[in-house]
A = this chain, B = another copy of it.
Amino acid sequence: MPEFIYKNKLYYNPVEFAMDRIGGTWKMPILWRLKEKVMRYGELKKDIPRITDKMLASQLKELEAEGFISRKVFAEVPPRVEYRITPRGKKAIRLVEQIRNYGLELMHEFGVKQEKKK
């Protein structure tokens, strides 16, 4: 049984480590949107339903701190901040795609229907 410490937290396995980096309710949705677009804070906010400023800001900060996205601030008024995916983030996206495909498969098995975008 592998077991290890990272940043003062005990992990039992690599899956847990990965999910701690890019798991949670909002990180994958954020990465997903930055897949092939550079986006501003406000664009992300509008594009991700129900996310609050608190969650968006904190998750962006964590993703940046661990190198999945980068942040560019423009010295303008009004302020402009752009977020873009990094190479590490691109690798993460490949996993997101796999989980997503699996999720779609499961939803089909469970008879879950998705709503259309309005």
Contacts and interface: CB of A to CB of B under 8 A. Distances in A.
B2 A115 contact: yes
A1 B49 contact: yes
Contacts of A101: 14
Contacts of A102: 14, 18, 91-92, 94-95
A-side interface size class:
35 or more
Given A3-B114, A17-B106, A95-B99, 7 more contacts: A4-B115, A6-B107, A6-B112, A12-B29, A17-B107, A18-B106, A91-B102
A113 B49 CA distance: 38
A58 interface: no
A115 B3 contact: yes
B112 A4 contact: yes
A51 to B, nearest CB: 9
A37 B6 CA distance: 31
Given A15-B100, A102-B95, A1 B117 contact: yes
A72 interface: no
B13 A100 contact: yes
A39 interface: no
